[in-house]
Amino acid sequence: MSSVKSSEHMEKSMSPRKSRCPIKLKAFLFCLIASLTPQLHAMQNSGGSLTVIEGPMFAGKTEELLRKAKTLETIGGKKVLLVKTTVDDRGGEGKESIVIGHDGTERAAFLVGNSEGGFSAIIRKVIEDNIDAVIFDEGQFFFDENCPPDKFIETVGRLVQMGKIVIVACLDFDFRPLPFTITATLRSIPGAIIMTLPAICERCGGMATYTQRLVDGKPAKFNDPTRRIGGKECYEPRCKNCHEAAKHCSSDDLLVGNLFDQVN
Ligand SMILES: [Zn+2]
């Protein structure tokens, strides 16, 4: 995945007849969901809930998350814990544990690393502080090479099993556009409430459902790293017609992506 491919190769790799194997990918998703099935059934009977707020960058996901936190507190009378991963360092020095919406709204968060220890700390904090609702910003980032996505998904499941209100804001697709494993799995959980927010396309002003990554003003290459934390300097929301890779995709490409590759 380190070699630089030409745009011609990129188009070829995004064609409906590319070498990626949907059956293998679907099998991976099936196995992941199946492994969580007992947990999923328990979640449905726990009294807890899961809400997934998904969409491209600049769709207002974090703002919606912060609005929900405030509403849960002021109207619902709930005790809310906002959780942020250390991977998300967009706030800069001194703002590591602050979640900041694109509209400037801020809220202090409980900062955790992507590890079993970090996720256990969330559970302990929820018990010790008698938290009612746990909300996660940038949910797609709660994994890394030492902490596979299912660890975060298990944590979400355990919180719902505990009867908690859980809300996760996350990007649905990366810049290629391939689905993030965490988002794709969470939205597949029976009973999950899915809120899909569009942004406005920077090119044509239409409804944007994709995120375009830019490097020096030009579209990023397909094989660039999935994770690059940034803002308007390197990302734009775009509609399918204006997204440099999405316009070459079939609907099947967008459904299956290469989830398997992302976690291996
Ligand atoms: Zn557009």
Q: What is the pLDDT of residue 219?
A: 78
pLDDT at 259 over 60: no
Active site (annotated) includes residue 138: yes
Q: Which of 64, 138, 236, 244 is catalytic?
A: 138
pLDDT at 153 over 90: yes
Domain map (residue ranges) of the chain: 19-262
Measured in angstroms, how far is the CA atom of residue 56 from the centroid of ligand 1?
13
Measured in angstroms, how far is the CA atom of residue 254 from the centroid of ligand 1?
17
Please, how many CA atoms are within 13 Å of residue 81, restricted to the half-sphere of its CB?
22
Q: What is the pLDDT of residue 214?
A: 83
Which pTM does this prediction carry? Answer: 0.78
Q: Which of 82-91, 102-111, 146-155 has the highest mean pLDDT?
A: 146-155
Query: What's the mean pLDDT when you consider all of the chain?
Result: 81
pLDDT tens digits, 219-243: 777 777 666 777 777 889 999 999 8
Residue pair 221/183 in contact (Cβ under 8 Å)? The answer is no
Confidence of residue 8 (pLDDT cuts 50, 70, 90): very low
Count of other CB atoms within 10 angstroms of residue 25: 19
pLDDT tens digits, 166-222: 999 999 998 888 889 999 999 988 899 999 999 999 999 999 999 998 887 777 777
Query: Which one is the CATH code of 19-262: 3.40.50.800, 3.40.50.1220, 3.40.50.300, 3.30.70.890?
Result: 3.40.50.300
CA distance 152 to 87: 14
Measured in angstroms, how far is the CA atom of residue 200 from the centroid of ligand 1?
8
Count of other CB atoms within 10 angstroms of residue 230: 11
Q: What is the pLDDT of residue 107?
A: 94
Element (DSSP H or E) covering residue 194: strand 193-196
pLDDT tens digits, 62-71: 999 999 999 9
Examine residue 179 and say whether the peptide bond preceding it is cis (omega within 30 degrees of 0).
no
Measured in angstroms, how far is the CA atom of residue 58 from the centroid of ligand 1?
14
CA distance 129 to 227: 33
